[in-house]
Amino acid sequence: MGALSGLTQPTPAVAWKMLKEGNERFVDGRRDHPNQDAERRSQLSGGQFPYTVIFGCGDSRLAAEHIFDLGLGDAFVVRTAGQVIENGVLGSIEYAVEAFETPIIMVLGHDSCGAVTAARDAIESGEMPPGFIRNLVERIIPSVISPELPPKAHVNDMVREHTRQTAIRITEQSSIISDAVLSGKVAVVGVFYHLHSGKAELVFSSQDLSLPDDFDVANPSTQSLPIIDKKQPKIVFSPVWGENPSPWGL
Ligand SMILES: [Zn+2]
């Protein structure tokens, strides 16, 4: 499980552009299927150096490596139904940040989420589901009743809010993650996935991730990178209910 030595991670903005471009290939049906051959397996036998943490819902339609056209060793993936935070989740994300200096942590929700729907139904009916499913639902309810939601909110509005709140809570609850975010080395982003189109929509980011349109992620070291103000990282809340909720054009 050790980190591969001699490698450097991309900046959060470059890592986001790599993920965004992978998702665009997936949406357009032109995936590269990178890093899935015997050579890559051999490279990784001595360690790993993933450039993204993806913490997503366990829904079978939300296969992270497919959605972002990733391969072996690219993503450290943690999943629970409704992307519900618990101690093991936070420990797993902290481990990736500490061991691999992973520059981007993505919280991944999706439309028509069954876990968020169950939380909404529990509020409406007053009845909680049985067993440990109740634990999941209890942790989603604060997002479902959020004052940020519009009146008569759709379940997908609740998923967007839950994804944003989860991204914020990860940073608030873990000092390892919040220190990494404040240093500017790590961004936490919230992404809403559209099951039908395959599009990944940015709904939250802990910092500005914009890069020049012509920035080539294949050769980041030859190009100038935006300077991050490490003392005052910009917390970006994208508008959630507008026509174009993503300022990054996804
Ligand atoms: Zn789900």
For residue 204, the surrounding DSSP H or E stretch is: strand 200-205
Ligand 1 is an ion; residues with CB less than 5 A from it: 57, 59, 113
Closest CA to 245 of 163, 171, 151, 142: 163
Are 55 and 204 in contact by the 8 Å Cβ rule? The answer is no
- pLDDT, tens digit (0-9, with 9 covering 90-100), for 149-199: 999 999 999 999 999 999 999 999 999 999 999 999 999 999 999 999 999
Q: Is 234 helix (H, G, I), strand (E, B) or coil?
A: coil
Spatial distance between the Cα atoms of 180 and 95, rounded to a whole number of angstroms? 12
- How far apart are the CA of 117 and the centre of ligand 1, in A? 9
- pLDDT, tens digit (0-9, with 9 covering 90-100), for 136-150: 999 999 999 999 999
Are 204 and 237 in contact by the 8 Å Cβ rule? The answer is yes
- How far apart are the CA of 130 and the centre of ligand 1, in A? 18
Delineate the domains of the chain, giving CATH numbers in brackets.
2-237 (3.40.1050.10)
- pLDDT, tens digit (0-9, with 9 covering 90-100), for 15-56: 999 999 999 999 999 999 999 999 999 989 999 999 999 999
pLDDT at 228 exceeding the cut of 50: no
- How far apart are the CA of 79 and the centre of ligand 1, in A? 10
- How far apart are the CA of 128 and the centre of ligand 1, in A? 18
Order the strands of the 104-110 sheet from edge to edge. 75-80, 52-57, 104-110, 187-193, 200-205
- How far apart are the CA of 139 and the centre of ligand 1, in A? 14
- How far apart are the CA of 86 and the centre of ligand 1, in A? 16
- How far apart are the CA of 178 and the centre of ligand 1, in A? 26
- How far apart are the CA of 219 and the centre of ligand 1, in A? 36
- How far apart are the CA of 159 and the centre of ligand 1, in A? 9
